[in-house]
Amino acid sequence: MNKFKKISGLFLGLVMGCLLIEGSQAKAEFEEGILPTYKIEASSTLDVYNKYIWRGFTLDTDPVIQPGFNLSGYGFTISYWGSYDASQADASGSDEQDFTIDYTYAFEYLSVSAGHTYYSFPTADSYSKEWYLGVSLPVLLSPSITYYKDYGKEDQGGGDGSYLNLAVSHSFTIVQDPAITLNLGASLGFNDKLFIAGNGSDCNLNAGLTIPLTKSLSLSPVLGYTVPSGDLKAADDGNQKKRTYGGISLGCSF
């Protein structure tokens, strides 16, 4: 019950925060005749999923609550992201808190990103650390390639391996007013001893909608399907299975 109250508080806090910010922006626009320009931008999300799937791994088969917050400016982004078990139907304790710093530079024909993530697992009293480097192209399907290197020690909860992700995505406007979009994505990941002993891969497909509720608040239902292979699937190593998962995301931009 306490966890439900905290989750409800997060949801209501996000909605009320967005509405208050939108109201203050509208007031400023009315009083000054223009919308103020900020060098620092912020956004937040609150997601609810029926399972927690990460790089082909099923980390929790219970429903999870996943809040996030981003603060961006001058190419840098500082992020917090969390995942909290909403029930205890299985034996997994998947509570997680991630802190990421990213720098992205946009050239004329591509964007380059580099960053570092600190993973904390409070329930398991463990942690891990990872740096990454990625390149994306602003063309049809928005192709991207990202290399991740986890250098956390295994006896402390680290993955001590690497992961390469290839991804494409595209959004279609299906309703003009309000502007509702259909978002499609696919990714292929290659795992080299990251939380497994050998090599493996995973394919992920996802589809969702973005539905604007207000100027700064949106709702996004999502459906996904993940397929592990190689050592990620092997019963004596990763032991992962095909999974269908879904959820809903509430997003707010400041």
Return the pLDDT at 39.
85
Domain spans, the chain: 2-253
Residue type, 136: S
Alpha-carbon span 79 to 95, nearest angstrom: 17
Distances in whole angstroms, Cα of residue 215 to Cα of each of 41, 123, 124:
15, 37, 40
List 197's β-bridge partners, or say none: none
Return the pLDDT at 42.
97
Return the pLDDT at 1.
44
Stretch (H or E) spanning 23: helix 2-32
Alpha-carbon span 47 to 112, nearest angstrom: 27
How far is residue 245 CA from its own chain's centroid? 14
Per-residue pLDDT of the chain (254 residues; tens, 9 = 90+): 455 455 555 555 555 555 555 555 544 544 455 555 568 999 999 999 999 999 999 999 999 999 999 999 999 999 999 999 987 766 666 799 999 999 999 999 999 999 999 999 998 899 999 999 999 999 999 999 999 999 999 999 999 999 999 999 999 999 999 999 999 999 999 999 999 999 999 999 999 999 999 999 999 999 999 999 999 999 999 999 999 999 999 999 98
Decide if 12 contacts 20 (C-beta within 8 A). Answer: no
Class of domain 2-253: mainly beta
Stretch (H or E) spanning 17: helix 2-32
